A and B are shown apart, each in its own frame.
Chain A
């Protein structure tokens, strides 16, 4: 351990336990505490339109989903192109309760934290089931298996009357300690609710990676035969990687359902699965900060491109098709550019910045 608890120029680990600390220096801890404090108190000082609160909430929901995808694809190395379907499982769990009990039933409006957990567990169950082919399949073949799940999910929702054939199933307003959350409080309420879930999930994932189960994920990703030879169980590891990813996706889906007060298949299509994957890649596969930075980057980019294509669609009438193509084009371009020039994602920039601080006053 460094003698300076605030700045440690270099590594001073003398035990594995020290290497597994959540915060290496007091500066790390203080910075995280300050960040969390800022995230919790800024709404008291800055008034934001509902439009932007919805964008922020949407980013936070994506963070939870990408955290799950990062576990299975980033840490365990198992490609999943059906992540939106897992998110959809969570959302449609809430929708199923709404269909059976009515959208304003007390269970939905009062016991919503419980339902969010149930949605997470449903996601985990489906994740584990879809993870079973991972015992036999790898790489491209596994990607196709998850893609199939995405297709099956979409087809099932689209053609089942119970799920309103994919059209929106309404979800009622929730009740909190102060009574029913009104329309004016809705987005700010869900901001805090989702933020709390993110803090729990973030620390849970960070802690998981400190345990043998977390290290198993990385070991299986790097070489599953070697991991097997060292006494790990690659099959079990792969299944629980999918289950954990499914859990987080299910929670994200349930939060999406409550945030939008409705569930429709349009929000859980293959396009969304690819978006989640892009967020994980751009953020940084196999890194926890990447799960936060990726959704932020992609959603903000999406918003800017949306504005640009709207402007082009309205003013350059001859270029409507180009305006239509701008969104997928920019999206694809960002993924390709990151894969080419920064395959470790934005998280790598964060790592470099931290290293700079850590080594200061020496040059990085």
Chain B
């Protein structure tokens, strides 16, 4: 009896093995990627839609078989904006055998820089801090750095200011993320950008900026360039609005024109500041969904396909996440097309070859993504937007700041 039952089980095992073997040989390969970011905790208002953008695009790649039978498996981990947790997540991803890594904050990117070098792992962070690229061979910024963005805003001020030398203040986050562009903007001024940086304000968790705004006004400041996140900017704009200090037109005399880099703007700012956000100038390399474009359509369709709400679908952070996923997919696609095995080495090579006629246009950015051995900044082009009627509208055409090159 026992013998019969044993033979039965063995036969079943053999049958199952025979049936699954062809399936396994037909199944495509799985490429593992990792993303560690703040889905909860500080800055999760940016991290949450960012993670959805990444997740949805990779699901789209797998569902629509963009890589044929091969699939991308991107593990997304919440680090709650804590560098120690990011390091732990990165170690976990390495153990899993990832071939490409997506990181998030400036702090963790700087903290893990040496690990990226040792692992020879290509990394695209959500941080556009220029300092990420110093002493690094494996970090690739998706778009123009915060420094380039601030210089771009400075150039726009100089170009459109009427009267003498424009007086500018900087309103920054008290961290490397905020402080990064200050020195570079000062260098641009030293290199001939004709404006005066009157004061650099590092904000705390202030709930009232009245005194600061009055002080800036008394110093003749007409422009405030912000490099921080939305909520402090919203507080400042509300206070400025309450004091009647917001310029109705760009550079209006006796008033202040507010401008900001990538993470200061987006729909979240409008939601937080309401009508006070009107006439706020914002620069980024991403498209906005309220202006028709193939990229905007693709983004909205993607969000709809995966049942995202309106807020996430129209978030520039969703665009940001989608774009880095597009770049990662593109390098895998190109490596496959070249007949290369998909490894961290080949993806690194493909990323560095993304230039010239091999530049990549994801549609979600205002310019092409280009990388090379010496250029680790993806989209060099910036677009200026201004809030009008409760939405961000393009101002002029995409541009590349001249002084960003001059100070290199």
Binding site for B on A (CB under 8 A): 49-51, 54-55, 58, 158, 165-168, 170, 183, 260-262, 264, 266-267, 306, 309-310, 312-314, 317, 320, 323-324, 326-327
Contact = CB atoms under 8 A, between A and B. Distances in A.
A324 B40 contact: yes
Contact of A310 (B39, B92, B107, B118): B39
A260 B84 contact: yes
A314 B107 contact: no
Given A50-B95, A51-B92, A165-B179, A267 B83 contact: yes
Contacts of A260: 84, 87, 111
A55 B88 contact: yes
Interface residues of B, number: 34
Nearest to B110: A168
Contact of B114 (A55, A170, A267, A310): A170
Given A51-B88, A54-B87, A314-B78, A264 B44 contact: no
Contacts, number: 89
B107 A167 contact: yes
A158 B174 contact: yes
Given A165-B176, A313-B40, A261 B78 contact: no
A261 B175 contact: no
A54 B91 contact: yes
A130 B119 CA distance: 42
B383 interface: no
B111 A324 contact: no
A165 B48 CA distance: 28
Contact of B110 (A167, A183, A326): A167
A266 to B, nearest CB: 5
A49 B92 CA distance: 7
Nearest to B47: A313
B198 interface: no
Contact of B111 (A158, A262, A309): A262
Interface string B83-98: 1110111011011000
A167 B113 CA distance: 12
Given A183-B118, A267-B83, A306-B85, A50 B107 contact: no
B78 A309 contact: yes
Contact of B107 (A58, A168, A317): A168
Interface of A is mostly: helix
Given A166-B175, A264-B83, A313-B48, 14 more contacts: A50-B92, A51-B95, A167-B175, A168-B83, A168-B110, A183-B115, A266-B84, A306-B78, A309-B78, A313-B44, A320-B39, A320-B44, A323-B39, A326-B40
A183 B82 CA distance: 22
B68 interface: no
A280 to B, nearest CB: 20
Contacts of B161: none
A192 to B, nearest CB: 18
B28 interface: no
A314 B52 CA distance: 9
Nearest to B96: A49
A58 B39 CA distance: 23
Nearest to A103: B114
Nearest to B202: A159
A51 B91 contact: yes
B80 interface: yes
A327 B83 contact: no
A37 B19 CA distance: 49
The winner among A51, A54, A261, A267 for most chain B CB atoms within 10 A is A51
A306 B81 CA distance: 12
A50 B80 CA distance: 20
A178 to B, nearest CB: 18
B186 to A, nearest CB: 14
B95 A49 contact: yes
A167 B180 CA distance: 11
B80 to A, nearest CB: 7
Contacts of A264: 83, 107, 110-111
